[in-house]
Structure 1
Amino acid sequence: MVFIVVISSVLLAVCTSLKPIYLQNAIDAVDVGAGGALTMFLCYVASILGILLFETARQLSTGKYRNSRLFSLKRKVMAHIVYMPPRKFREEQGQNYVTTLNNEIEMLVDSYYVTRLELAYSILVLITCVIALLYINGYLAIIIIVSTVCPIVASAVQGKALEKRTNFYTMALEKLNVMIGNLIHGYPIIKVNHIEREYLQTLEQDNEKAAHAEFAKAKTKIRVNMIIGLLSYIGEVVMVGFSIYEISKGRLSVGALVGALQLSEMLVIPTNSISYQISEMRSVTGIRQKIRQLLSVPDSAAALTAAPTIEYMELDNVSFRHEEKVILSHANYRFEAGKKYLILGENGSGKSTLFKLLTGLETEYEGCISVNGTDIRRLWPALYDQIGVVLQDAFIFDDTFLQNVTLYRPALRERAVSAMHSLGMDAFLASHDLDQVFQNTKGNLSGGERQKLALARVLAENKRVIFLDEATANMDKGSSQKILSQLLRTDGLTVISIEHKVSPEILPLYDTILELRDTHLEERA
């Protein structure tokens, strides 16, 4: 696609510079009564048709190149986010990625990649027009070169200010997007604490800062363009004045004057464009460096070692601390395949931390966690093909119920429905269309139903190792006991369950009960 843009740009620039020359020759031929005027006029018309044809081709190919670049960069950033290690994802501001995907990539493509092609075209037009001027009059060529350099120098001087204003605007926009994201995700907190007015004031302040930053950027761009335009038109005036002087001395024909005037008008466009395009490209330097740095970080799309069938998972002298606080200290334990384990502990005892360590959501720890003797950090994310993880906060995508259970794998449809029946969701299936979009029925979905959908995801995949993080806490007691009893009585299934409290009826179904107390993991007798 870039090749087509370049070829059409070259041909367009050639036709653009030949048009005034053909016009000059046609006028001069008529003026002196020489032959060939009709031929030159037809060449002049052909150059106009060529301009229309090649400009259309250039714009179409540039538009396709722009779309291709947008798609490619967004795909790479989305892949980077998807494959980002969980710890790094938690440390990042998620709304910043929204800004990158929705705003910054488009700014980068328009202001750098597309502008780079436009800059190349402007330079081509400038070169071909200067050559045409040399053909008409050498002194005119010298004048146009001087008048071209001045705006470019001005652009280089002013470009830094535009880059600075663009960076300010980008940062203000990121802050605003973060606050908007907090509004959407933290809406219940805002309502129940009755802070609508206070939060709206904060949001309005950030919105106002973003608007001021955008206007400051626009004013700087206008100032830069005005300076560049002024210098360009000064050069044009000098050139036209010189042309009139030359024709009065008989050193320039009427046709040459007409051609020179056309070229002078045509040269204003690339002269202005080059200066503006340089400023535009510099204005997104910060965004370009940000996205380049973002995409330079290797992802974990593939594990270093294929995940084996899990025979055992072992903690060997594992410790974890958050800042200066010790959460887990020198934990040692082996989880055998096919057995059912319950991990108990008070709030803040480290249950959630241990869960994250075992499921790869936290990888910064001391000691070793292994599967069949292989360090577990060598197996992520492929190990997720072997284990199922059900979190207490069951996230539901804004998509159909079927997509929420199959997780975008159509082959699992029948097993997904079967899993939902096994979880006692007959009434749900009778009252909901699986192809119904969840976004339209949020008010009709309880916390327990959310957790059942999350469990159905794991059961539909027929995983043989399941981690449960209080996965039935939001269900009614009867449903919770029935589902846990069913899972714990399944032969060959490994269950590692994190709970705060457990019904006495369920306790005997576990093979082993572990307890986290004072940063230590102990087996209850």
Structure 2
Amino acid sequence: MWKFFLFIIRFIENGNKVYISNENKIKELFMKKILRKHFHLIFIGVFIGILQMFALTKVQFIKGQVLNVAMQKNMNELPQVIFKLFAAIFIMAIFGYLFSFVNCVFMERSSKSLRELFFQSFLGCSYKKYFYLDEGELMAKYSKEISVIEQNCFSLVGTLVQMVLQILFVSAALFYLNSWLAVISFVILVAPVLVPKIFQKKVSNRSYDKMSKVEKNISVVNGILNGFEIIKNFGIEKNIFENFKKSNDNLMDAENEYEKSYAVSTGVSFAFSLGSQALIMIIAGFYIYFGFLKAGDFFTIAGLIASLRVPLYWISTMFQTLIATKPIRKSVFAFIENNIPMRETAICNPLDNQQDLSVFVEDLSYAYEDKNFILDHIHLKFEANKKYLMIGESGCGKSTLMNLLLNYDELDSGRISVNGIDIKELSDMEKIITIARQEAVIFSGTIRDNLTLYDTSISKDEFLETMLKKVGLNKFVTEGLDYILEEDGINLSGGEKKRFSLARALIRETPILILDEPLANLDGENMEKVENLISDIKNKLVIVISHQVSDKLRQKFDFVMELKGGRINVETLPEA
């Protein structure tokens, strides 16, 4: 059945060209995946829709029966027929509500699946690829384009079921009756416009709650975007995805409440619309009783023709909608297709379980596009379990060298290897290297989550509290590990954010640690604490990029490297 919906969409978009072109393959792939996943809801919707359309047709026939009984002036039977009419309307309203509710659930779950598919794809792309992504475009895809698909694609599935069934049932009923008489008896029926006012406040409140949850969800996503390097470096895609799912579930709950209230409003409005038609028939029955009208099945046919007006009008509207949203669907699904899915299992790394790692840089050169070489034929050796201080003027290439070490970009020439293995052959450098950038990243969440990054294996509070004390964050030990840090650490000072980032890096056990300006924005007392902490690091290859280190700390390094003019000078310091 899901193939039928894809066929209809292709037919509307491409006319008689219903084949799947290369351009449409990406879109088809993910539409199939989502429709298949929620096919049971489509099946339930079809079943309820059949019952709803049967009730709709029955209502039209009972209307005619009311008039016929009235024309016969059979007052004994008339109340029974009127009761049957309202009973049929009530049953139809129930099925209408159930259909709307199932359709809302289908939209909700399909939307949730699409958002999770999109987010899995985002987390699956490499940091190298992420570096070239336009964050504004990415957020537009998530916040706007996916919403367009939800409202103008997934919503069409349920409406398509309803409209097709309505056309089939009404056409069959007209065929059963005298259809030539129906041609001259088309009546335009207008549903009451004031019914939605009854539910306006409730629907408005649900809509506001939904909007606030959307904003919160985007806030969480934006924080994750800002911390993407840490996510990749720590290899916590799954943990972040689970955290995202919690926020997404809250959003879906708010949307579900909104859709339920909207379904009630739609169902009641639909019932009032049918009630108004029934009232017309009852009034017409009295007119017939008093001899002002001579009509039998005329109003039944007129009602059936009126029932055809909506689906026929909707098909033309659907045509415009699908054509208008085609580029958006193509854009979103192309993004999903073009990114590597989030890995489910760890990739075998030849350096797994090796603690003593050395890095070799051989004849490395690198330039940004057509500019001069920022790194020019660099030769370096970073030995295992040694400490290196890298200094140099701003823009001299220190951070660039670290990015190349992390395999974030391609070398113009030369080679970087770890224990003799080219980093191009290592798909997950984040397993062996931890980096703490100068721009500290704080996620919206507890202190515990920000330190452990959702790693449940780090469960000892005493260990986390000790680390907070070592970096001079004693006051947060008093606040407790469940203290909430706001997005981007807006309730922290710059120095506190820096020390949280440093504590997080030190908690993680990797053979190589890179600290980018760890002493920036720190006062004298806390700078001394951090310097002592760096001095005490053992059994790691430590690379510190800094402009401000005391002579005492400088002497704790094994080598001092100065980068200048694309070249590097290495000073070997005597052992303390």
Match runs of 1:6-405 below 5 Å: 6-24=46-64, 28=68, 47-139=88-180, 254-299=295-340, 301-302=342-343, 304-306=347-349, 308=352, 309=354, 311-325=357-371, 326-363=373-410, 366-380=413-427, 382-405=428-451
The corresponding residue for 1:220 is none
Instruction: Give the Å deviation of 1:331.
Output: 2.9
Task: Show CA shifts across 1:400-435 (max 9, x none).
Answer: 3332222233543523222112223324534x4433
Q: 8 Å contact 1:116–1:281 — kept in the other structure?
A: no
Residue 499 of structure 1: CA displacement?
A: 2.3
Residues 142, 57 of structure 1: alpha-carbon distance in 2 compared, 3 angstrom cutoff:
same
Of residues 418, 421, 436, the one that matches 2:466 is 418
Residue number in structure 2 paired with 1:452: 499
**Distance apart, 1:492 and its partner CA:** 1.0
Secondary structure of 1:96 counterpart: helix
- Whether the 8 Å contact between 1:448 and 1:475 is mirrored in structure 2 is yes
Q: CA deviation at 1:295?
A: 0.9
Any idea what SS the aligned residue of 2:458 has?
A: helix
> 1:360 and 1:480, CA in 2 relative to 1: closer, same or farther beyond 3 A?
farther
Q: Distance in 2 between matches of 1:489 and 1:403?
A: 25
Distance across 1 between alignment mates of 2:506 and 2:492: 20
1:212 aligned residue = none
C-alpha distance in structure 1 between counterparts of 2:100 and 2:65, whole Å: 30
Instruction: Say if 2:358 and 2:418, in contact at 8 Å, map to a contact too.
Output: yes
Shift of 1:139: 3.8
Alpha-carbon separation, structure 1, partners of 2:295 and 2:185: 20
**Aligned equivalents of 2:481, 2:538: Cα separation in 1:** 30
Alignment deviations for residues 37-82 of structure 1 (CA, whole Å, 9 cap, x no partner): 9998887566434422321221111111111122222222233333
Contact 2:185 2:298 in 1 (8 A): no
Q: 1:509 is matched with which residue: 556, 560, 565? A: 556
Which amino acid counterpart does residue 85 of structure 1 have in structure 2?
A: S
Deviations 1:178-201 (A, max 9, x none): xxx9xxx9xxxxxxxxxxxxxxxx
Question: What is the CA RMSD across the aligned residues, in angstroms?
Answer: 3.5
Query: Partners in 2 of 1:282 and 1:140 — Cα distance?
Result: 37
User: Is 1:130–1:144's contact at 8 Å kept on the other side of the alignment?
Assistant: no
**TM-score scaled by structure 1?**
0.70
**1:471 maps to what in 2?**
518
Question: Equivalents in 2 of 1:399, 1:422: separation in Å?
Answer: 22
Give the number of the structure whose residues are more often helix, by fraction: 1
Structure-2 separation of matches of 1:287 and 1:345: 47
- Provide closer, same or farther for how the CA distance between residues 357 and 26 of structure 1 changes in structure 2, counting only shifts above 3 A: same
Secondary structure of the 2:486 match is helix
Cα deviation, residue 271, structure 1: 1.9
2:100 counterpart SS class: helix
| 8 Å Cα contact 1:123/1:274 also seen in 2 | no
- 2:537 paired residue among 469, 490, 512: 490
Alignment partner for residue 477 of structure 2, among 412, 425, 429?
429
Structure 1 residue 284 displacement after superposition: 1.9
TM-score (norm 2): 0.64
Tell me the distance in 1 between the aligned counterparts of 2:411 and 2:89.
Answer: 67
Q: Which of these residues, 428, 439, 443, is aligned with residue 486 of structure 2?
A: 439
Report the Cα distance in structure 1 between the residues aligned to 2:379 and 2:420, rounded to whole angstroms: 14
Distance 2:101 2:319 in 1: 23
1:211 matched to which residue of 2? none
| Structure 1 residues without counterparts, runs of 5 or longer | 148-176, 186-252
Q: Within 1, Cα distance between the matches of 2:102 and 2:185?
A: 30
